[in-house]
Amino acid sequence: MVKQEKASANRPDNTAFTQQRLPAWQPMLSAGIVIPGFVLIGLAFIGIGVALFVTSRGIQVLEIDYTGVEQNSPCFPCTDQNRKNCVCDVNFSIDTLFQGPVFFYYGLSNYFQNYRKYGVSKDDYQLSGDLSYFKAPSSTCSPYEYDKNNKPIVPCGSVANSMFNDTFKLFQIVNGAKKQVSLDGKGIAWWTDYNIKYRNPSVTPLKNAFNGTVKPLFWSKPAYELDLSDPANNGFINQDFLVWMRRAALPNFRKLYRRITDGDYAQGLPAGNYTLEVSYNYPVLSFGGRKKVVFSNVSWMGGKNEFLGIAYLVIGSMCVFMSIVMLIVYAKFKFPEED
């Protein structure tokens, strides 16, 4: 017997694997199996689509363009480059209660925060509070690395430099008087940005960390004085700064500015007339950009977007339709296996 085994030492293993006989599931893409599947998928999609659509319908959005392109628009005077600290009032009215919590966005159009070189132009190490990068920012920040006097710019780079600096105040006109709507600026940035990614240097007062550096050219205030009202909201963990630093994916974008969550307006903005006091600083007309403010409430699916619901509905009904077509095909051609 030993000899026998030896004689067939070369014999391949007769296993299912080596002989390619592993049990296999062979799905057949023929109409018979597909029709019920399609009907099920179609119905499920229609269900999701209806839910999405209804939800999306329930979301209220109010968009106001305040760029001031037209002569008669309230912010038109502010488009003059020479005017400093221009303030314009934009009036609008709400017909029905704007369900709270209301999110207050600013939006920019034709603004390419995703521009390649722009995106590179920041120094993550500096922004994470590393003091050595305060003195010598990364070369990626060029040309917003050093100012003319060769002093390092903190925060350096194009992204920080171009930070949106319009500010808004919202008033409800109650009986002719302006009643300020309190805006909540806390927690509008990503939790991870605020707590992990971006860090101020652990120097108190914060101002000392910035000794020997200059503020970005475009900025009117240094980074440690971005929010005078709340000392904790300064430096690199300033919420507005964080929101800006998270670059928008598309050239028409909105960014969260404030939330209206407390006080009288916790339930939303009641119907009535409102005035938005815009401190108009950010120039966009030079490159054909637009600025707007957006009020919106959100649901589980985020902001208002009817597309997804419609897409689900369309695809769902297409699936159902196709299963009908296939049923006809089935009737006409029969199934090959039934021949």
Residues between 29 and 68 that touch another protein (CB under 8 A):
29-31, 34, 41, 45, 48, 52
Contact 300, 48 (CB under 8 A): no
Nearer to another protein, 233 or 323 (CB): 323
DSSP character at residue 302: B
DSSP 3-state of 146: strand
Among residues 48 and 173, whose Cβ is nearest to another protein? 48
Shortest separation between residue 273's beta carbon and another protein, angstroms: 26
Identify which range of 70-78, 83-91, 115-123, 206-214 contacts another protein by CB under 8 A.
Answer: 115-123
Which of 13, 95, 132, 204 binds another protein (CB under 8 A)? It is 13
Locus of tokens 């009907």: 39
CA distance 147 to 123: 16
Among 152, 215, 234, 255, binds another protein (CB under 8 A): 255
Tally of CB atoms within 10 A around 56 = 20
Instruction: Check binding of 280 to another protein (CB under 8 A).
Output: no
Residues 137-156, interacting with another protein (CB under 8 A) = 140, 142-143, 145
**C-beta closer to another protein: residue 6 or 177:** 6
Which pair of tokens denotes residue 217? 């050219």
CB nearer another protein, residue 33 or residue 271: 33
Q: Does 117 bind another protein (CB under 8 A)?
A: yes
Element (H, E) at 168: strand 167-174
Map the footprint of another protein across residues 73-102, applying CB under 8 A. Answer: none
Residue 3 CB neighbours (<10 A): 6
Residues 165-194: x where in contact with another protein by CB under 8 A, - otherwise, as a string: -------------------------x-x--
Query: Which amino acid does the sequence have at 62?
Result: L
Contact status, residue 88 vs residue 280, Cβ threshold 8 Å: yes
Q: Which amino acid is at 58?
A: G
Place of tokens 């090959």: 336
Beta carbon of residue 173, minimum distance to another protein (angstroms, whole number)? 28
What's the CA angle centered on 122, arms 121 and 126, to 5 degrees?
Answer: 155
Site string for another protein, 201-220 (x = CB under 8 A): -----------------x--
Q: Is 169 exposed, middle or buried (0-12, 13-18, 19+ CB in 10 A)?
A: middle
- Binds another protein (CB under 8 A): choice among 88, 102, 156, 158: 158
